Structure 1
Amino acid sequence: MPNTVTHRSTPGPPLKLALLLYPGCMPAGLFAAADMVRAANLRSQTTLIEIAWVGVDRQPVPTWQGPALTPNLAVEHANADAVLVPGLWLSSPEGVDASLTLLAPVVQALRALPRQTALWSYCAGVALAAGSGRLKHQRATATWWLRAPLEQQFPGVHWCFDEPLVTGPRATTAAGANGYLPLMLQVLAARMAPQALKDLQELLMLPRPRTVHPAFAGHDLMTTTQPELRRAMLWVQQNPASGLTLPQLADALGVSPRTLARRVQQHAGMPAAQWMRRIKLRQASEALCDTALPLKRIAADLGYASEAGLHRAFTQATGQTPLAYRMAHGVR
């Protein structure tokens, strides 16, 4: 599938990626994605991904406070393996419903895509993907402040707002205005050797993740190039904290627990069990920083046995209570 995380040892046919333009979209992420693809193709000395700029039709599309851009193709004629849906400007969560009404032709075009076409979206663009019905009965994430309207309007989606990136066989969603970055890194990690991907991360002028507490440094997808460890991190993010065990993770990856423990120790410099706990605590730290959710709700969302257990583990790892951490690093 287009969004698998298993690295290809030999290049297959180029993936055909359509970058969707629609009225009021914020196209910066599309341009950045196109730059990443261009650099990946040059670094690999082969065409890994082919880009096409598409719209509902071929008419010029007015972007948010920017120029009108003209698609090369209508999305229905792109014959794409995947369509990337960028975000749009929303001044408040209440704007989701009005935007979906205004952009009904875009939603309909996404709904009409062939079943085998993967849909990738990030930030508020996830609302369009959800509106198309393509996320129904699937796991998905989106920007945290859209939680209430998305849960209300699309109860058939298995929302995972505590995860920055959620991949599936037919859809991939990412949170945040820069959500295209972990999304595209995930796609490229499936098609490039780890060293080549690392070169891209170091040489391209990519947005960097915000400064995090030293306890969580190196525990995110954006800084991890090894495909197996990226798969491991996704698995840990998607499973409840109280149920994390090394044998289960090793089984999910198809390796022995001993092999996995050795690779995690080499990569992270800590035992695998501690590494898994830190990944979950990083998720907790992001929820503390980006939302006003009470610690009890965060603990429940991430699968901790109790609020007290999360409080104790977080304080031990960071030297700060969750409340102190939120006061120091969280949104105002």
Structure 2
Amino acid sequence: MRATNRRTGRMIFETCFVGLQAGPVECSHGVTLNATDTVNSSELDAILVPGSWAESAHHVEKALATYANLVKGLSVRSSRRHLWSYCTGVCLLAASGPLNDQPATVTWWLAEAMVKRYNKVHWQSEHNCVFNERTATASGVNGYLPIAQTLIERNVSPEVLRDLIKLMVLSRPALPHTVFNATSLIEQPGKLLRKLHILLEQMPAEQITVKALAGTLGMSERTLARKVRNETGLAIGAYARRVKLSQVGERITLTSVRSA
């Protein structure tokens, strides 16, 4: 965030540490951080909840009990505040409630436990980062990076983000198998395919028909089929199957929960 401010010459982002109360917070390994504000401060635009060290779902359960007061604090609704988290910190957001009825992701080895424990969340563990209107979640210990990159791209510009990735030597995303290149949401060239991609991920496979898709997207079946073929070179049925196969393949890899 500081690099973004320096690159643009403007104070776009300002960060601080917050806690249940303002003041020193004792962390792991003897580190003490100074919280300058509380999690429910009206001055905050967003809170990023980091992960904590855990080696199993049982460790996460113990952490949720330890941080019960924090979970309670994060559950307080605010019309202004955004809530973001990554790695095991996503479990704190799930426990506090703001992810209910929202798409979210989590670190792969926690996917099955989270699907079972927080079934009101629309888990999409096949994604490494999921942004909603007021929440964002990312997987992995470096999950803060895709969250920050999305913020910079949306609030500043893609050009500035590319500069920062180059100057800060940030890792580039891994390439998927070529058969699924067309199924990555970020690779969709137009708004229609992005909307269609999200819709396909949300719908059970047995409910997917051209009629249902076209009706939801507000166009005729023929128009939808023509536009999908023009942009992808695929019939809409083939495109839908490819998206669902990619999605289900990831879920089978990460969980034992039945996929549809």
- State whether residues 194 and 226 of structure 1, in contact with CA within 8 Å, keep that contact through their aligned partners in structure 2: no
Quote the Cα distance in structure 2 between the aligned partners of 1:259 and 1:49: 39
| Aligned: 1:196 with 2:160 | yes
| Aligned: 1:161 with 2:115 | no
Partner of 2:99: 135
State the structure with bigger RCO (CA 8 A, min sep 6), 1 or 2: 1
Quote the Cα distance in structure 2 between the aligned partners of 1:217 and 1:90: 33
Pick from 45, 60, 66 the counterpart of residue 96 of structure 1. Answer: 60
Partner of 1:56: 20
Give TM-score scaled by structure 1 length. Answer: 0.60
Quote the Cα distance in structure 1 between the aligned partners of 2:47 and 2:255: 33
Q: Report the secondary structure of 1:97's partner residue.
A: helix
Partner of 2:78: 114
Gaps of at least 5 residues in structure 1 are 1-36, 301-332
**Identity, % of aligned pairs?**
33
Change (3 A) 1:214 1:225: closer
Give how far 1:153 is off: 3.6
- State whether residues 182 and 188 of structure 2, in contact with CA within 8 Å, keep that contact through their aligned partners in structure 1: no
Partner of 1:4: none
Partner of 2:256: 293
Partner of 1:124: 88
Quote the Cα distance in structure 2 between the aligned partners of 1:79 and 1:164: 29
| Aligned: 1:174 with 2:138 | yes
Change (3 A) 1:282 1:180: farther
Give how far 1:103 is off: 0.8
| Paired residue type of 2:256 | L
- State whether residues 197 and 225 of structure 1, in contact with CA within 8 Å, keep that contact through their aligned partners in structure 2: no
Cα RMSD after superposing both structures: 3.8
Moved more, 118-127 or 238-247: 238-247
Q: Can you list the C-alpha shifts for 1:66-96, whole angstroms capped at 9, x where unaligned?
A: 7332223222336212211111111211223
Quote the Cα distance in structure 2 between the aligned partners of 1:285 and 1:220: 13
Q: Can you list the C-alpha shifts for 1:155-204, whole angstroms capped at 9, x where unaligned?
A: 43343434443333332222333333333333333223333333334443
Gaps of at least 5 residues in structure 2 are none
- How many corresponding residue pairs? 253
Quote the Cα distance in structure 2 between the aligned partners of 1:292 and 1:62: 35
Change (3 A) 1:71 1:205: farther
Change (3 A) 1:244 1:55: farther
- State whether residues 64 and 89 of structure 1, in contact with CA within 8 Å, keep that contact through their aligned partners in structure 2: no
